[in-house]
Amino acid sequence: MSEIGTNAKTAVGLTTTQAPFIEQAKMLGEMYIEQPYELYSEENHQAWAALYERILPRWHKYAHPRFLEGVEKLSLDPHAVPRLEDINRFLKPLTGFSARAVSGYIPAYRFFDSIRQRVFPTTITIRDKSKLDYLPEPDIFHDVSGHVPMHTDQRFADVLVRFGEVARAAAHLVAEISDKTEQLQQLNSIIKAMARFFWFTVEFGLMRNGNDLCVYGSGILSSFGELEYSIESPEVQRFPFQIEWVINQYFEIDHYQPLLFIVDSFDHLFDQVDELERLMLRGELNNVSPGEPLVNEEDLKSFLEADISA
Ligand SMILES: [Fe+2]
């Protein structure tokens, strides 16, 4: 490697938004990639170690017991960015799930269909060591330490697969609509409803745990500050999960969530995914309230071009 190359590696490694390896993959349209482990810089590993050390006591205090078991089962290294192949060696025999490296954003249908097939698209970059707290993009700390421990639980894994099946049912449903304007309008609304459901459960869900609450949502589980805030702050509104509310509730991604929903159990959550499909088939996702999240062209296209033949 040239001196310039070595310096570039030391400086940026696989840091979020700064990694030439990732930018190049995106430019070439490569969605699924390898994890070039040797490209992680010393700073990248230090960022992982700092994030992990800081959050561990809060996991013990606020995380769902199954999440904590998952962390144990995966044998995550507290000191270094994990290798996905190591993670998968532990994970796959448990639930059939695996983590697969991606270069960035995955359009909605491809993401949901991937989890239906028990493959979790996983970001491999890591946030800058000097900015541990706020990051609008997902990174490997969010994806691996926030999401993947939950994938060791059979029932939670079933929930994800079931959610992927609903996406597939949605692709079938809209394929039947001949009027293009109506098709796009309905699809836009269905994707919005699905994204809100996913957000208020898989990403930001709370669950009853005896008389207490615990966190199973990965957005909270990967945030040192929000872990405590979500459970302790009097500023957070916490309500029993009500699906009609959830699918009509906008959310914003750039601050701590002021509103969270509580499910009773993973069985309860699974039933709610069933209910999501029932509502969709009855046409009740066709006109949900406007607002965040915005559905982009790529998301719409991914559903319209979905391979639903098999
Ligand atoms: Fe996430």
In the structure encoding, which two tokens stand for residue 185, read together?
């309008």
Helix (H) or strand (E) holding 304: helix 297-304
217 CA → ligand 1 middle, Å: 9
Say if residue 42 is exposed, middle or buried (CB neighbours under 10 Å; 0-12, 13-18, 19+).
Answer: exposed
State mean pLDDT over 200-220: 97
120 CA → ligand 1 middle, Å: 10
3 CA → ligand 1 middle, Å: 37
138 CA → ligand 1 middle, Å: 7
Instruction: Please state, in angstroms and rounded to a whole number, the distance separating the CA atoms of residues 128 and 48.
Output: 10
115 CA → ligand 1 middle, Å: 12
147 CA → ligand 1 middle, Å: 7
Which domains, and CATH codes, for the chain? 3-304 (1.10.800.10)
Q: What pLDDT is stored for residue 102 in this prediction?
A: 96
Q: Which of these, 123, 105, 117, lies nearest to 14 by C-alpha position?
A: 123
* 96-128 per-position pLDDT tens digit: 999 999 998 899 999 999 999 999 999 999 999
Q: Is 218 helix (H, G, I), strand (E, B) or coil?
A: helix
221 CA → ligand 1 middle, Å: 10
254 CA → ligand 1 middle, Å: 14
Q: What are phi and psi of 98, to 5 degrees?
A: -145, 160
Instruction: Please state, in angstroms and rounded to a whole number, the distance separating the CA atoms of residues 186 and 249.
Output: 17
226 CA → ligand 1 middle, Å: 14
* 84-93 per-position pLDDT tens digit: 999 999 999 9
Residues with Cβ < 8 Å from 297, sequence gap 6 or more? none
Look at the chain and count its residues.
310
Instruction: Please state, in angstroms and rounded to a whole number, the distance separating the CA atoms of residues 212 and 72.
Output: 23
CA angle 28, 32, 35 (to 5 degrees): 100
62 CA → ligand 1 middle, Å: 18
With a pLDDT cut of 70, the percent of the chain lying above it is: 96
Q: Is 134 helix (H, G, I), strand (E, B) or coil?
A: coil
133 CA → ligand 1 middle, Å: 15
User: What predicted TM-score, i.e. pTM, was given to this entire model?
Assistant: 0.94
